[in-house]
Amino acid sequence: MPLYKFKISDAKGVVSETLIEGESQADATRRLQRRSLIPLAFLGEGTDGRQKAGIVAGRFNAREFTERLVPLVEADITLEKALGILADDKENLAVAAMAADLRRGLHEGRKLSELIRERGNAFPQLYAGVVEAGEEAGALSLVLQELRKFLTDSAELASFIISASIYPAFILGAGVCMLIFIFGVIIPKFASTLSATGIKSTATELLLSISGFFRGYWWLLPAAIILLILLIRQVRTPESAIRKLWDRYILKVPVIGRMVLYSNVARFSRTMAILLRSGVHLLQSVTIANRVIQNSAFRESIQGLSGELRQGQKLSAALSQSSYIPSLMLEMLNVGEETGAVDTMLDRVADRYESDLRKGIKNLLNLFEPVIIILLGLAVGTIVILMFMAIMDMQNVAK
């Protein structure tokens, strides 16, 4: 909806200017009147800040936004003024555009949590629920601190995975390029030389077969890359049938399945801990935390968790119905329920499985490197041996 700019007066007679959404000027006027604001003058259509935000939405980072907002709120600066300060930031245009957009929403009398929920693609799924709990409890500063810690920890984990994957990915990419060059350039030229000599041998026939395959079926490589890209897109689509099949299959794969499970368990536990510590009710915390689980098979296994909790079951007992929940997590939760520190125990569960996830990724990548090197060595070595045998056959014929 477009924005309309008005000069208004509130119930205390304070005159100011504001932007408000509406289907038309008359609709915008009615919206102001419903909020007990008196429109004094219409100042024309305003610029939709969300259009500006959309231009830089790809660069908007919720963690950076939170890190810039928290120190201002901690200094007892009002939320509206803090967003105004961020909106004037010239260093990060994406954060400034989003802050300006949220500030306009506050001027319309709306809650921050409501505004964040409408911009769900820009913020993590738990963000609006945690902010809403902070607004209701009057502890917005505290919950924003929790969100900052959560987003920072998540960013550090993602950074660790990326940095740990750079070297193996470089080795794999360089090896594949080398093999493409050998099979696509060197072998065909060498094979054409052998073919001209008329020498018949096993090594020569194998090299000619490899050369013929790459000349005749080279298009299979780009076709395989395209199919892989399409498959990845389907896997990344949350509700696709391929994604559901993938989620069920990946959990059964040795080593990798365990790491996927640890990632989702840690995310679920961390979200639950933040929500409970922020004063969100257990049933609402479970509903919000369930949304942040990325694996659909794991998410479906605890879909009925809210119903079991309503029947009076403990959280640990309700979670035990899922075949994916690790027994250690259930034992730790049981202890937390007995001591009345469920949120603290959930934090420790998240720490434990995030640590196990890091170790698992590091061990897998450490294993991946020598495996790739060995496979590349075998492929290149086989080609070199075949070429050497073909050369020997040529020498024997020449003698």
Q: Domain end: 123, 155, 174, which one?
A: 123
Q: Domain end: 123, 154, 170, which one?
A: 123
Percent residues over pLDDT 70 in the chain = 90
Q: Do 258 and 335 sit in the same domain of this protein? A: yes
Q: Do 395 and 274 sit in the same domain of this protein? A: yes
Lowest average pLDDT, out of 189-198, 206-215, 281-290, goes to: 189-198
Mean pLDDT of the region 78-93: 86
Structural domain range at position 67: 49-123
C-alpha span between 336 and 60 (Å, rounded): 37
The pLDDT tens digits for 159-209 are: 887 887 888 888 888 888 888 888 778 877 777 777 776 666 677 778 778
Structure tokens at 250: 């990946």
Where residue 386 sits, what CATH number does that domain have? 1.20.81.30
Three-class SS string for 18-71?
EEEECCCHHHHHHHHHHCCCEEEEEEEEECCHHHHHHHCHHHCCHHHHHHHHHH
Q: Do 182 and 322 sit in the same domain of this protein? A: yes
Q: Do 42 and 53 sit in the same domain of this protein? A: no
53 band by pLDDT with thresholds 50, 70 and 90: very low
Q: Domain end: 95, 123, 151, which one?
A: 123
> How far is C-alpha 50 from the geometric centre of its chain's CA atoms?
23
Q: Do 291 and 353 sit in the same domain of this protein? A: yes
Q: Do 139 and 62 sit in the same domain of this protein? A: no
Q: Do 267 and 280 sit in the same domain of this protein? A: yes
Burial zone of 365 (CB within 10 Å; 0-12 exposed, 13-18 middle, 19+ buried):
middle
pLDDT of residue 226: 92
C-alpha span between 362 and 329 (Å, rounded): 23
Q: What are the percentages of helix, strand and coil residues in the chain, rounded to 5?
A: 75, 5, 20
Q: Do 184 and 35 sit in the same domain of this protein? A: no
Q: Do 102 and 241 sit in the same domain of this protein? A: no
Please tell me which residue, 120 or 225, carries the higher pLDDT value: 225
Q: Do 192 and 297 sit in the same domain of this protein? A: yes
C-alpha span between 303 and 152 (Å, rounded): 28
pLDDT of residue 227: 92
C-beta of residue 319 within 8 angstroms of C-beta of residue 282 = no
Task: Please state the domain count of the chain.
Answer: 3
Mean pLDDT of the region 224-242: 84
DSSP 289-336: HHHT---HHHHHHTTTHHHHHHTT--HHHHHTTSSSS-HHHHHHHHHH
Q: Do 85 and 116 sit in the same domain of this protein? A: yes
pTM: 0.67
